[in-house]
Structure 1
Amino acid sequence: WGTGLHPAVAGGPVKREGDGRAPAGVFAIGDAFGYAATADTALPYRAMTAGDWCIDVPGSPLYNRIVSVQDVGADAIVGSTEPMRRDLHKQGDARYVLGFVIEHNTAAVPRAGSCIFAHVWKSPQTPTAGCTAMDAGHMQALLAWLDPAARPLFVLLPTPEHARLHAAWGLPAPAGD
């Protein structure tokens, strides 16, 4: 379970930094980001530079925040493994060419998981470290469709939990209900 808009369900596993799992729950959608100067989206958009990093170091006061080296200094990103321009820092990896922040662990509780995004996949067979990934065309369509005025939410639940919690949490019924 992640830290989102509803409490974790008792008895289930809890998201932890480095566990390689996506957090379950209901989350607000944060800013969109990408490599281009602009994107076709109504969400707030941030063009990433070589100096932008998401801090995944649990002991950092900047944990779970996207920061610019220009603003925080090079020492602040030491140990972080999440450059937002993966194409420049990770051998041309284009996964962050377009995406958005999933607002998990916004209180930045150390070791509760950080840098959770929806982004472009490397390939359909390549897992993420806890994010949600899709092909570039679907990401472009999703970002163009999202309307922040409608206060969209990101719901990521196992099917049995969705079936059990949808009414109590005010979610759409599972398909087939």
Structure 2
Amino acid sequence: MKSYIRVKAYLLILIIVLPSYSQSNNSPVPRESKQLIIVLTDSTSSTKGFLYRCDKKNGTWKLISSKLPIVLGRNGLGWGRGLHQIDSSLLPVKVEGDGKSPAGVFTLSYAFGYAKVETMKNLKFPYIEVTSMLECIDDVKSKYYNQLVNNNEADTIDWQSSEKMYFADVYYEQGIVVDQNINPIEKGAGSCIFLHNWATPNETSAGCTEMAPENLKEIINWLNYSDYPILVQLTEPLYRFYQQQWELPVLENLNP
């Protein structure tokens, strides 16, 4: 189970590190975080939006890129399980198979891709090479639910449904794992959520956040594990609602 343990090790690191985060009384974004990815849409049902990147300098978030187009799940957004508190009066709660991308605040544990790690010269972030054996399990009855597993090294093949990572064409050529529903994993609360490539900008996903490959490559090379990168994914109205409370940067309107 060497490869399985290797994949899980990054999750274990996060479980150890997360309790040491210093969060303010109001914000789920850890004070130690110096990298922020923000994804905004104009409504809960929207399948298109924009991504922003910010660095924290001298305690203040600074926008470092122009907004980048993204696409989301075919049914928009629903609250995921991350660092935030869920208020179901503001947004539906995500469940397995609902076609929604997770809204909220999430850590990012590692990147993945078809490229060999030795060719990734600019990496400052944990990276998993995708092989033909790697699957992400979305079967709620499996003990490996919402985990990446090498199928030839698992104790038992107890799943009927999974994402076969190596056979997803351009989509999983590169990506970033979003820590949605991991600590602890709740059966049926959503699985296998990534930032990954799109094939075209006119599609939707099953729940992931997709973008142009060249933009995602730049993001992967920018991420620094020691800077505790965080994803904030919300509707634009919810972002405005939480902006001061969560100490988030002021951004331009989604539709100026």
- TM-score w.r.t. the length of structure 2 is 0.64
Separation of aligned partners in 1, 2:140 and 2:247: 33
TM-superposed CA distance for 1:174, in Å, is 3.1
**Could you tell me which amino acid in structure 2 is paired with residue 172 of structure 1?**
P
Rg comparison, structure with higher value: 2
Distance 1:173 1:161 in 2: 13
Question: Is the aligned partner of 1:101 residue 2:177?
Answer: yes
Deviations 1:56-76 (A, max 9, x none): 011111110000012205623
Deviations 1:32-58 (A, max 9, x none): 000111234211000011110000011
Please state how far the C-alpha of 1:126 moved relative to its aligned partner: 1.5
Secondary structure of residue in 1 paired with 2:231: strand
Equivalents in 2 of 1:150, 1:75: separation in Å?
Answer: 36
Aligned Cα root-mean-square deviation (Å): 1.4
How far off its partner does 1:170 sit? 2.3
**Deviating runs (4+, > 6 A) in structure 1?**
none
Aligned to 1:149: 226
Structure 2, unpaired ranges of 5+: 1-78
> How far apart, in 1, do the equivalents of 2:204 and 2:123 lie?
26
Matched, 1:167 2:244: yes
1:37 aligns with 2:116: yes
The correspondence of residues 1-177 of structure 1 with structure 2, limited to 5 A, is 1-11=79-89, 12-38=91-117, 39=120, 40-72=122-154, 75-76=157-158, 78-87=159-168, 93-106=169-182, 107-175=184-252
Q: Which runs of 5+ in 1 are unaligned?
A: 88-92
Percent identity reads: 37
2:239 is aligned with what amino acid? H
**C-alpha offsets along residues 68-103 of structure 1, whole Å, 9 cap, x if unaligned?**
012205623x3123011124xxxxx22000001010
CA distance in 2, matches of 1:80, 1:108: 17
When the two structures are superposed, what TM-score results if normalisation uses the length of structure 1?
A: 0.91
Distance in 2 (alpha carbons) for counterparts of 1:158 and 1:23: 11
**Counterpart contact for 1:108–1:114, Cα < 8 Å:** no
Higher strand share: 2
In the TM superposition, residue 146 of structure 1 has moved relative to its aligned partner by: 1.1
1:163–1:174 CA contact under 8 A, matched in 2: no
Residue 123 of structure 2 aligns to a residue in which SS? coil
**Residues of 2 paired with 1:129 and 1:96: CA distance?**
14
Please identify which structure carries the higher helix content. Answer: 1
